């Protein structure tokens, strides 16, 4: 089964778990190590069950525990070179495996396609994750919307998409002027209206589920975001919900049973990625017991 769960989404931390076959990817690692461990446990997944981490960009709410978990669990951290440098300056990066800003790699039973995103973090990307027949899109922290983003997301069966703020709430709210300018800039975050425009442009007949992500707890409300999203998909058979910040969603299917299967185009893997995947398999087989031991040491007591 190809499924996913949002562990948390917002300025206090972002993480999405994706599972296909024996592969479990953590898209972003912005929660604390304990929050990540506890929310995975609620889904019957342990830290040592993770195959790899995939990081969109180097801001704290997307990388908070990445260094700690990747080091303790010996998991690869897939991210762009620019993101890796930003993470290194912010406190470190473990087991880096390179991603192109506009490329594709295979990780276990899934393929991860990257596309550049307009944000004030160098090397920022979004992810398309597919199992060969269905696809999940993960796209947050956008300053502007454009045709390239819409085209990338138009291939998705399920989508986790930023609906960050209501412009009027932001302008009237408590943020200092400099932060307001940053959020509203072309490298900041998108409003409900702009997110709705992007969703409308990206929505194709195959889209079945949209989770509204990275909602500001100060400058937005679920009702406003949902209204904008429902307007964008009006007349379509699309399920819309808000991704929570403080608890996980539970497991969600990327595509419903019987949904049309497709075939996605592939690009060749680089030699560097091939070597990284081979090393990942070797580490997984040789160090699983050590990873469990490190987990116990990391948190104390039973996992």
Q: Which pLDDT band, with edges at 50, 70 and 90, does 293 fall under?
A: low
CATH superfamily of 2-299: Ribonuclease Z/Hydroxyacylglutathione hydrolase-like (3.60.15.10)
Number of residues written out for the chain: 303
8 Å CB contact between 168 and 184: no
Q: Which pLDDT band, with edges at 50, 70 and 90, does 284 fall under?
A: low
pLDDT digits (tens, 9 = 90+) for 135-162: 999 999 999 999 999 999 999 999 999 9
Query: Residue 291: what pLDDT?
Result: 56
For 156, how many CA atoms within 13 A lie in the half-sphere containing its CB? 32
What is each CA distance from 170 to 62, 151, 181, 196, 217, in whole angstroms?
22, 29, 10, 17, 11
pLDDT digits (tens, 9 = 90+) for 165-204: 999 999 999 999 999 999 999 999 999 999 999 999 999 9
For residue 129, what are its two tokens? Answer: 């994750």
Share of the chain above pLDDT 70, in %: 88
Query: Residue 122: what pLDDT?
Result: 96
* DSSP β-bridge partners for residue 71: none
Q: Which pLDDT band, with edges at 50, 70 and 90, does 290 fall under?
A: low
Tokens 């398999």 sit at which residue? 281
Tokens 């190809």 sit at which residue? 2
Mean pLDDT value across residues 270-279: 50
Domain boundaries, the chain: 2-299
For residue 55, what are its two tokens? Answer: 């990081």
pLDDT exceeds 80 at position 67:
yes
């Amino acid at each position: 089964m190809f499924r996913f769960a949002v562990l948390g989404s917002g300025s206090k931390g972002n993480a999405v778990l994706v599972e296909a076959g024996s592969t479990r990817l953590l898209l972003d690692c912005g929660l604390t190590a304990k929050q990540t461990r506890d929310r995975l446990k609620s889904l019957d997944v342990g830290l040592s069950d993770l195959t790899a981490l995939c990081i969109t960009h180097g801001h704290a709410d997307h990388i908070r525990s990445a260094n700690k978990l990747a080091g303790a669990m010996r998991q690869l951290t897939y991210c762009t070179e620019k993101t890796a440098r930003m993470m290194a300056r912010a406190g470190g990066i473990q087991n880096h495996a390179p991603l192109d800003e506009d490329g594709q790699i295979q990780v276990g039973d899934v393929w991860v396609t990257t596309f550049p995103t307009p944000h004030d973090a160098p090397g920022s990307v979004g992810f398309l994750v597919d199992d060969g027949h269905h696809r999940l899109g993960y796209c947050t922290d956008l300053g502007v919307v454009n045709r390239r983003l819409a085209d990338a997301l138009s291939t998705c069966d399920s989508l986790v998409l930023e609906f960050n703020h209501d412009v009027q709430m932001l302008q009237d709210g408590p943020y200092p002027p400099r932060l307001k300018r940053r959020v509203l800039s072309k490298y900041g975050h998108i409003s409900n209206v702009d997110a709705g425009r992007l969703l409308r442009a990206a929505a194709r007949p195959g889209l079945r589920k949209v989770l509204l992500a990275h909602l500001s707890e100060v400058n937005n409300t679920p009702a406003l975001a949902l209204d904008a999203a429902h307007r964008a998909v009006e007349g379509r058979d699309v399920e819309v919900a808000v991704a929570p910040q403080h608890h996980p969603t539970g497991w969600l299917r990327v595509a419903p049973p019987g949904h049309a299967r497709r075939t996605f185009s592939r690009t060749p893997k680089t030699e560097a990625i091939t070597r990284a995947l081979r090393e990942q398999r070797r580490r997984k087989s040789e160090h699983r017991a050590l990873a469990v031991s490190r987990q116990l040491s990391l948190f104390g007591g039973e996992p």
